Amino acid sequence: MKVSFVNKLSEKKETLVIVSDKSSMPKIAGLGQKTLNSINLAIKNENFKFNKLQTLEIISSDKLGYSKIIIIGLGEDPSVSLRESDLIGGKITQLNSKTNSNIDVLVSKNISNDESMLRIGYGSILATYKFDKYKSKKSKTNFSKTIKLVSNKNSRSLSKKFNHNKSVAQGVFLARDLVNEPSNILNPEDYAKRIKGLSKYGLKVEVLNEVKMKKLGMDSLLGVGRGSQYDSQLVIIKWDGLKTKKTKPLCFVGKGVCFDSGGISLKPGNKMEEMIGDMGGSAAVVGLMKSLALRKAKANVVGIVGLVENMPDGTAQKPGDIVNTMSGQTIEIQNTDAEGRLVLADALWYAQDRFKPEFMIDLATLTGAIVMSLGNKMAGIFSNNDSLSDKLFIAGEESGDLVWRLPLSSSYDKMINSQFADMKNIGMGGAGSITAAQFLKRFVNKVPWVHVDIAGTATGMEKNSINTSWATGFGVHLLDTLVSKFYE
């Protein structure tokens, strides 16, 4: 599907979509009085209320020029959020495939600013995502037609800016694909190969296998993968958008557990299949790196993902085991299902040790407890730095990938002390997401850091016009917004 910005209505008129609230309707630019009269008649006859995202289809007599006119309501509230603009765009794509026609879009003044227009375009692209590669009968929806967003004056500058949104959408699609992919296909080794394939976009990709990680002392990460037939991998992805300046890189770290069976602390069978998505944090990082490369972001960014499979086996790690970490701290494994933090412990340490970054942000489907706290609506964030955490919150509001900050505190930190080792990998007595974050904090030195727990948002969010798939791609837009708004 092609989405573009134009400054006038198409010559060949097929479907016209009008996005408007009730009071702005008569003032829509580009519509003649006759057309408006017929539309008003239809609105009256159908008792159309202009509720948010409500649609009214008008089959018009040919004197209107368009054979079909569809109105999308904006509701009472004259202000429209950027996320709502995304959803409007998604709705237009659905109409596009349903009517199988080329669409011109006119919007009312209250959402005709550049940012909203771009987001309508962005949403309309997001809505084309589908994951049907394992269906022998493919879904019939086709997105072969065009969507033209009509803007009076600045269509050329909008088209240029739109490249940014298109790049983000490609990153979101990659993240969704990776998360939707089953673990018999996407195992740590194949995943690393797929990431290698991103070098064609100008990213530098480096892969550390088990032998190399062993030399670095990453026993914590390696312990998680011990029961798996696949080699664990640490993949480093670099985007050097600022070739001349020697600035500290921005660093993103992702949990990539391709399948989390729980290991010897085996999970119950119900919904265990959803643990193919336990690499959602890594997928967000990989998706982000692709977006940054596609849009040639003016920033130096490093993405690091720890890829493992957590399986029970005669060789698997066991409760009671004590492992070393690259940091030198030791961990008593009390539950092999609390494996994400074990992967991140070494990945975070490696990231700060090697890259001395401006900041580190890790993303992980880390705890079931975060789903209890925030459901599938927002991700939980934890931070040692108010300013970075505030920036991420703002990026959340703007991108629509919402985050909410939860506390870190030494009183929770005590809960992970161990009688044998420096710490244990689970805390007793509630606050499971916080004790997990406290654990990670022990592997972060002075560098500003945010941990994002996306266990509730990487998958399973409410379906809507911009996503009908299980995997959401959550985090890509969030991080891209953080980078572009505050660091470019």
Residues acting as catalytic residues: 267, 341
- Residue recorded with tokens 């959602």: 280
Residue 325's binding partner out of Zn ion, Mg ion, ligand BES, none, with CB under 5 to 8 Å set by partner kind:
none
Question: What is the nearest approach in angstroms of Mg ion to the Cβ of residue 262?
Answer: 5
Amino acid at 428: M
Question: What is the nearest approach in angstroms of ligand BES to the Cβ of residue 432?
Answer: 6
Using CB under 5 A, pick the residue from 104, 219, 337, 453 that binds Mg ion.
337
Amino acid at 261: S
Strands 146-150 and 55-59: unpaired
- The answer to whether residue 260 forms part of the interface with Mg ion (CB under 5 A) is yes
Q: For ligand BES, which is the closer residue by CB, 141 or 335?
A: 335
Site for Mg ion in 338-397 (CB under 5 A): 339
Residue 369's binding partner out of Zn ion, ligand BES, Mg ion, none, with CB under 5 to 8 Å set by partner kind:
ligand BES
Site for ligand BES in 226-265 (CB under 6 A): 260
Q: For ligand BES, which is the closer residue by CB, 278 or 413?
A: 278
Name which of 344, 336, 358, 338 is nearest 234 in CA terms: 344
Burial class (CB in 10 A: 0-12, 13-18, 19+), 234: buried
- The answer to whether residue 309 forms part of the interface with Mg ion (CB under 5 A) is no
3-class SS of residue 55 = strand
Cα 190 vs. chain centroid, distance in angstroms? Answer: 21
- The answer to whether residue 309 forms part of the interface with ligand BES (CB under 6 A) is no
Residue 374's binding partner out of Mg ion, ligand BES, Zn ion, none, with CB under 5 to 8 Å set by partner kind:
none
Q: For Mg ion, which is the closer residue by CB, 207 or 272?
A: 272
3-class SS of residue 415 = helix
Name which of 66, 38, 55 is nearest 95 in CA terms: 55
- Residue recorded with tokens 């609506």: 377
Name which of 52, 62, 54, 69 is nearest 18 in CA terms: 69
Separation CA 282–CA 276 (nearest Å): 12
Question: What is the nearest approach in angstroms of Zn ion to the Cβ of residue 443?
Answer: 17
- The answer to whether residue 426 forms part of the interface with ligand BES (CB under 6 A) is yes
Question: What is the nearest approach in angstroms of ligand BES to the Cβ of residue 368?
Answer: 3
Question: What is the nearest approach in angstroms of Zn ion to the Cβ of residue 459?
Answer: 13
Q: Name 255's Cβ contacts closer than 8 Å, sequence gap at least 6.
A: 278, 279, 280, 281, 282, 305, 306, 340, 343, 344, 362, 363, 364, 365, 366
- What φ, ψ does residue 409 adopt, rounded to 5°? -165, 150
Separation CA 460–CA 375 (nearest Å): 10
Q: Which residue sits closest to Zn ion, CB atoms considered?
A: 260
Name which of 315, 286, 289, 283 is nearest 210 in CA terms: 315
- Residue recorded with tokens 């009183």: 411
Q: For Zn ion, which is the closer residue by CB, 83 or 341?
A: 341
Q: Tell me the sheet residues that pair with 154.
A: none
Asked if 111 and 19 count as a contact pair (C-beta separation under 8 A), the reply is yes
Q: For ligand BES, which is the closer residue by CB, 181 or 339?
A: 339
Question: What is the nearest approach in angstroms of Mg ion to the Cβ of residue 337?
Answer: 4
Site for ligand BES in 30-69 (CB under 6 A): none
Which positions lie near Zn ion, rule CB under 5 A?
Answer: 257, 260, 278, 340
Site for Mg ion in 425-444 (CB under 5 A): none
Q: For Zn ion, which is the closer residue by CB, 226 or 477?
A: 226
Burial class (CB in 10 A: 0-12, 13-18, 19+), 397: middle
Number of amino acids touching Mg ion (CB under 5 A):
3
Site string for ligand BES, 272-291 (x = CB under 6 A): ------x-------------
Separation CA 165–CA 158 (nearest Å): 11
Q: Where are the beta strands (DSSP E) in 407-448?
A: 423-424
Q: For ligand BES, which is the closer residue by CB, 231 or 278?
A: 278
Strand order in the sheet with 55-59: 2-6, 146-150, 103-107, 15-20, 68-73, 55-59
Q: Which residue sits closest to ligand BES, CB atoms considered?
A: 368
Q: For ligand BES, which is the closer residue by CB, 112 or 261?
A: 261
Site for ligand BES in 318-377 (CB under 6 A): 335, 337-340, 365-369, 371
Separation CA 14–CA 378 (nearest Å): 40
- The answer to whether residue 432 forms part of the interface with ligand BES (CB under 6 A) is yes
Question: What is the nearest approach in angstroms of Zn ion to the Cβ of residue 235?
Answer: 18
Question: What is the nearest approach in angstroms of Mg ion to the Cβ of residue 384?
Answer: 24
Q: For Zn ion, which is the closer residue by CB, 177 or 260?
A: 260
Using CB under 6 A, pick the residue from 276, 308, 361, 455 that binds ligand BES.
455
Question: What is the nearest approach in angstroms of Zn ion to the Cβ of residue 260?
Answer: 4
3-class SS of residue 344 = helix
Residues that bind ligand BES (CB under 6 A): 260, 278, 335, 337-340, 365-369, 371, 426, 432, 455
> What residues line the site for Mg ion (CB under 5 A)?
260, 337, 339
